[in-house]
Amino acid sequence: MCSGVVAFFKTGSQRLPKYTGFKTDTFLCRFRRSGRLAFLASKSLVSSPEIPFHCDAVQAPPKPPSDASLGGGMMVGGYTNVDPAVRDIVPDAVNGRTVVKVVYVVLEAQYQSALSAAVRELNARNKDIAVEIHGYLVEELRTPAYFEKFKHHLSEANIFIGSLIFIEDIAEKVLEAVEPLRDQLDACVVFPSMPAVMRLNKLGNFSLAQLGQSKGVISQFMKKRREKAGGGFEDGMLKLLRTVPKILKYLPSDKAQDARNFMLSLQYWLGGTPENLQNFLLLLADKYVKSVEQHLTFAEPVVFPDVGIWHPMAPRMFENITDYLEWDRTRKDVVRDPRAPVVGLLLQRSHLVTGDEAHYVGMLQELESKGAKVIPVFAGGLDFSKPMDDFFYFPAAQGGAPIVDAVVSLTGFALVGGPARQDHPKAIQALKRLNRPYMVALPLVFQTTEEWEDSDLGLHPIQVALQVALPELDGAIEPLVFSGRDGNSGRAVALQDRIESVAQRALKWASLRKKTAAEKKVAITVFSFPPDKGNVGTAAYLDVFGSIYRVLEALAQAGYQVDGLPDGPEDLMEEVLHDAQAKIASPELNVAYRMAIPEYERLTPYAEKLKENWGPPPGNLNTDGQNLLVYGKHFGNVFIGVQPTFGYEGDPMRLLFSRSASPHHGFAAFYTYLEKIWGADAVLHFGTHGSLEFMPGKQVGMSTNCYPDSLIGSTPNVYYYAANNPSEATIAKRRGYAETISYLTPPAENAGLYKNLKELKDLIGSYQTLKDGPRGIAIVNSIIETAKVCNLDKDVALPDSVEDDNSTQDDRDNIIGKLYIKLMEIESRLLPMGLHVVGSPPSSEEAAATLVNIAGLDREENDAISIPKALAQSIGRDIEDIYSRSDRGLLEDVELLDKMNDATKASVTALVNESADVEGRISAVKSITDFLFHREKPAWLAALNDAGFPVEEKAVKPMMEYLQFCLKQIIADNELLALIRALNGEYVLPGPGGDPIRNPEVLPTGKNIHALDPQAIPTAAAIRAAKTVVDRLLSRQKAENDGQFPESIAVVLWGTDNIKTYGESLAQVMWLIGARPKPDSLGRVNKVELIPLDELGRPRIDVVVNCSGVFRDLFVNQMNLLDKAVKMAAEADEPDEMNYLRKHALKQAKELGLSVRESATRIFSNASGSYSSNVNLAVENSSWENEDQLHDMYLSRKSFAYSADTPGAISQQRQILESSLKTVDVTFQNLDSSEISLTDVSHYFDADPTKVVAGLRKDGKKPTAFVADTTTANAQVRTLAETVRLDARTKMLNPKWYEGMLSHGYEGVRELSKRLTNTIGWSATSGQVDNWIYEEANDTFVKDEQMQKRLLDLNPNSFRKMVATLLEANGRGYWDTTEENLDRLREIYQEVEDKIEGIE
């Protein structure tokens, strides 16, 4: 008998909350299993030197020697560095016994130690057989040497065992190795895995390969179950296991007995104890191994509850909550406050039955040490909603209310379903019913502890896909790693510092339920970027101070202590900035706290690490020279604080570093103040987005040494995030531990026309009625002259004039048609109007604008065609033909398209107006059927018919019903309610992020944003859309390049774009290469194949792909897919003239002394934990001297290459990047939604390599820059210069847009300044900005004295930045203007400067 005592650690009162935990200082970690006590005293229990232990009967097995030929098993750059030789067991003494050889491949490392123990026990005690066993974890088969060793072991094996082989390429390797030997093997047993792997099963006459071909009880059951998603299959199997073996036992046929033995095998396996596994091996040896002549005896499987409650101190597993609560009540080892928070833990039964539960014990121990009551429940299948429903509620007799205050899943899986199939709707319903915060902490699966600690990426990409992305779809938050894995034993290792972090954060969330609203402190954090007083309150398309004011009102109404609430948003802003005169008279923001350096160093344990980048505190940021300053303002128990900036924006040398610097002391002090000094119960980061989540550290699965983890500490993080930005919201969730709450972007409206553009359209209207009369030619000449005034001659080739004798009617129609379509392009361009205020749903007019755009796209899932398509069909036309002809400027079709757009708008407006009140607001949406009971024609149908389209009701009714549904979602107001729920410690419903027009499921807002399953893209629809864009891109480049295909294209991949479009730009890269993705048998996209050249019909285009840091974090698996496609193309035996990728790779290999495979490196990004090229920071802060410096930033920071040959490693390969860029003919980016265009954000120019390529090419040729615009059904490919012009005309220079912005005052001026700065960014990186754009910006915002005064009064700091940007544009040679203009700008700059500094 083993005895062991673990002294409980860190029980000092300073660690315990007011719910104080243990009565004694010992924690006897034991539980009864299989009639014996198993003590958990072991070194792996917790990695703390404070835990003394002794154990006189349990010893770890000695580490077997590694195979020297494998070099110790190290895989350079990979994840799997453990030599599988540690799982090799060869019997020491056979002594005449029959040797049974077993090989296994498993996902779950917990089976390693249990199988090893079973084999050792069997070899020590069984007199008839000895077992030789060789084990592999799934990822190890990627290593060629290990795969060869695996095949060698298989060739000598009697039995093969596999479990949870759901990774496509691993499944293929298993099939490759096992299939040829299947008939030779005595037994082949595979538990839930990919269907093809499951078909390897062979036990006598029983084979799963015949499932579905017979009508047996098992086959019928499995066939039905497979049709259902989620965890039902596995859980149904558990029920089947209870009865089928007993029934089959009495059936005479061998096939029935073999089927029974398969089901018994599964029972043994799921039972998981060394005893069960020993009997499992004895069963297989006795029944199926031919060389075993003796009759072997074995026991029936020891069966454990499918679901239950487990506690290491309890004498048994509990199968109802009443018994568990009664046992817990009688415990003598704890004294607990009756108000103590209750935390529900979700556990995997396999860890419990295999004895691999040290990490669970560590978590439970930590929570109880902090005074919490813990209800640890388990499931034997993969539906964890069942134990949650069974055990997290009081019995019905006691009211049936939830017991728990927070839930922490320690399984790593989605709530319902494992690695293969999930049932997210079922999970969401269960979590919504429970209504508690739901955290999913992560055990390391594919890495050892050391491998994870040493990895810059953090978690293995496959674990990110399976155990981070999928739980997020359920609404899970906070993916913290809590346990490691020992490389020798395979056992889980409790990571004490991580466990402590998970426990602290769980209890902080739980405490939000325990505290009253009046007690809770909320820290609202706003951003200031670029660092300037005119930029305080930066957030994408959000009126920050207007929104904060609404939040403060809502908090006060909910009972929070909000003192001294100002009269309105303007007053609130001024108090945060300083006082009524702060905008002008104070150079600093309001100081809320001065932190002395000793206090800072005492409370900030990681402060020492910051000295490497920033020197000793306080440094020169956020300081008065002696103290560190926290900027902000207190309003009772609400603090509005200003997050410090990165700190290196203005330092050109720091911007050149390939890796980002740590946070500075002022940044660290801000978060130390929130958590340790002011004691915030929650922090609310306000708007898209701040800097915390982009600080250096692992990409996913951070450690204590990662700065985002250190900064946020234990404080719950709620984050208002724009609904259209799921990629960066996901970074905030994974790296900032945020519970995101989506907010609506402003409704998209048509840009309209103004000034000379409006006059031009009027002239075109006149031409259409008078073109055949004597004034026709004069009107054409007026049109040409006006078009030139509008600078449209840059977009359309125009003659000086037209005369009777040198132009035909068709020529004139062609000129007018091309100008008309260009005007339509400007007029119909979608743009968000103004800024959103949280909690303010759109008006009926604004809602109609959004619905018009939704109506322009087919909705196949709703069997609804777009209204324009229905209109085209009603007149016998094809909408694609109309788009194509109007794109070419054919006047008749341009007119028709304009007419169709007007009819669509009139119809949708009529639909919305039916539900609007007299004030233009919608409180309830009337049903379509309400109107159908009245026999008159519905107004929405009448509008279409009155416009001249004989469309029938049945053709458009499905779309109208869909629009009605969308209208309900648009007007729903959940943004404030979701915030209150989060701060109350409730569950916030999850929902997708993206473009509300493409995917109205984004609505209503107020959801916990998630991205998507990364293995689900690109979708079939995305692949079709991508082909259209690629064909148009190549066609246009050929037309402008003497019919020649581009040999190489530099492409940028963005995270958000690929989420919104389900992988369109990803698919574009594949089409360029001439490759296509192949879904596996579960529909996951994990494979790729080359399209044969005769099918492709053109050469393969070389690509240089630069992935944003966010794309790298979210889609490592897709980077793997692209790299495979590139290397397949480079190694294809094809002629150079038909495979430019191979042509260039061969040349690079020769020049650089590399293999072709190495030289075909084309997938690049930032270093792990770093984001952007920093070109944007340099431009925004004017901290660059020349363009060469910007090019160096790009090449230094964006030259980290990804290779599928070394998964998990991103290494700097600047030489290969430069060599690849030298052949680039085209640079290419995508615009995917109306909310964000080229000058709205700095990311686009930050990633643009146009001038970098021009500088690297030896032939002096400049690449052509193209931009694909897929914001409407009629995708366009424009040059970068055309797109910049379109942006300027529709936004910065458009009165409709800038007046909408200026209606928000201070923040509106900041938006204007940002667009102008981003415009100069495009000049710097591409040289594609016309002079007239700067000239008209100067005329509009500076020369106009009334506008100048208005901007100065609203936001002098941002207006000063606008003036400085214009002067900078001239100084850098991007804008040629008069000296008079420049003198006036210098004079205005000085006036503004004096006013800001308070000089009269």
Per-10-residue mean pLDDT for the chain, 1400 residues long? 29 30 36 30 29 28 33 37 76 92 91 91 94 92 91 96 88 95 95 89 79 45 44 52 54 72 90 94 95 92 92 94 94 86 95 92 95 95 91 88 96 84 90 97 89 87 86 95 88 93 97 96 86 68 92 96 93 74 51 95 95 91 91 95 79 65 92 97 91 90 94 96 89 95 87 92 87 82 93 91 76 89 89 87 84 89 91 94 88 90 93 76 64 68 94 92 89 91 96 86 91 82 92 94 95 89 92 91 83 96 94 86 95 96 96 95 90 90 91 94 82 95 96 85 93 93 94 89 95 93 89 94 96 96 94 91 96 96 95 76
Q: In this structure, what DSSP letter does residue 688 have?
A: S
Q: Are 1084 and 170 in contact (CB under 8 A)?
A: no
Q: Are 122 and 177 in contact (CB under 8 A)?
A: no
Q: In this structure, what DSSP letter does residue 937 have?
A: P
Task: For residue 1330, count other CB atoms closer than 10 A to its CB.
Answer: 16
Task: Quote the radius of gyration of the chain (alpha carbons, Å).
Answer: 34
Tell me the pairing of strands 1048-1053 and 1102-1107: parallel
Q: The dihedral of CA 622, 627, 630, 631: what is its sign?
A: negative
- With a CB cutoff of 8 Å and minimum separation 6, the contacts of 545 are 537, 569, 570, 572, 573, 576, 1306, 1307
Residue 289 Cα distances to 158, 284, 1041, angstroms? 6, 7, 70
Q: Which residues of 1210-1236 are buried (b: 16+ CB within 10 A; e: fewer)?
A: bebbbebbebbbbbbbbbbbbbbbbbb
Identify which of 701, 705, 704 has the alpha carbon closest to the alpha carbon of residue 458.
Answer: 701
Residue ranges with strand state E in 1206-1300: 1210-1212, 1226-1231, 1264-1269, 1276-1279
In angstroms, the CA 1334 to CA 977 distance is 44
Torsion of CA 624, 628, 631, 637, to 10 degrees: -140
In angstroms, the CA 1358 to CA 1151 distance is 50
- With a CB cutoff of 8 Å and minimum separation 6, the contacts of 105 are 135, 136, 137, 138, 141, 150, 161, 162, 163, 165, 174
What is residue 2's predicted lDDT score, i.e. its pLDDT? Answer: 35
In angstroms, the CA 418 to CA 928 distance is 41
**At 69, phi and psi to the nearest 5?**
-65, -15
Q: Are 1210 and 1112 in contact (CB under 8 A)?
A: yes
What is residue 847's predicted lDDT score, i.e. its pLDDT? Answer: 85
What is residue 224's predicted lDDT score, i.e. its pLDDT? Answer: 46
Q: Are 149 and 176 in contact (CB under 8 A)?
A: no
Identify which of 972, 1053, 534 has the alpha carbon closest to the alpha carbon of residue 723.
Answer: 972
Task: For residue 978, count other CB atoms closer than 10 A to its CB.
Answer: 24
In angstroms, the CA 842 to CA 839 distance is 10
In angstroms, the CA 597 to CA 665 distance is 10
What is residue 540's predicted lDDT score, i.e. its pLDDT? Answer: 81
In angstroms, the CA 1051 to CA 1106 distance is 6
User: What is the enclosing helix (H) or strand (E) of 483?
Assistant: strand 481-485
What is residue 230's predicted lDDT score, i.e. its pLDDT? Answer: 44
Q: In this structure, what DSSP letter does residue 1343 have?
A: I
What is residue 930's predicted lDDT score, i.e. its pLDDT? Answer: 55
Per DSSP, the three-state class of 611 is helix
**At 1119, phi and psi to the nearest 5?**
-60, -40
In angstroms, the CA 519 to CA 525 distance is 19
Both tokens assigned to 1386: 């210098």
- With a CB cutoff of 8 Å and minimum separation 6, the contacts of 368 are 21, 22, 27, 334, 374
Residue 158 Cα distances to 100, 153, 274, 394, angstroms? 6, 10, 20, 51
Q: Are 1294 and 1337 in contact (CB under 8 A)?
A: no
End-to-end CA distance of the chain: 89
Say if residue 773 is exposed, middle or buried (CB neighbours under 10 Å; 0-12, 13-18, 19+).
Answer: exposed
What is residue 254's predicted lDDT score, i.e. its pLDDT? Answer: 67
Cross-sheet strand order for the sheet of 1226-1231: 1210-1212, 1200-1202, 1163-1165, 1102-1107, 1048-1053, 1226-1231, 1264-1269, 1276-1279
Tokens 């539906």 appear where? 383
Identify which of 522, 526, 549 has the alpha carbon closest to the alpha carbon of residue 687.
Answer: 526
Q: In this structure, what DSSP letter does residue 1091 have?
A: P
What is residue 652's predicted lDDT score, i.e. its pLDDT? Answer: 61
- With a CB cutoff of 8 Å and minimum separation 6, the contacts of 975 are 720, 741, 742, 743, 744, 838, 839, 1005, 1006
What is residue 33's predicted lDDT score, i.e. its pLDDT? Answer: 33
Both tokens assigned to 919: 């004030």
- Angle value at C-alpha 124, between 121 and 130, nearest 5 degrees: 90
Both tokens assigned to 614: 């920033």
User: What is the enclosing helix (H) or strand (E) of 739?
Assistant: strand 738-743
Both tokens assigned to 7: 């002294």
Q: Are 502 and 408 in contact (CB under 8 A)?
A: yes
Both tokens assigned to 196: 């093809």
Q: Are 254 and 205 in contact (CB under 8 A)?
A: yes
Q: Are 802 and 796 in contact (CB under 8 A)?
A: no
In angstroms, the CA 414 to CA 465 distance is 11
In angstroms, the CA 65 to CA 157 distance is 21
Both tokens assigned to 867: 């209204």
Is the bond preceding residue 419 a cis peptide, omega within 30 degrees? no
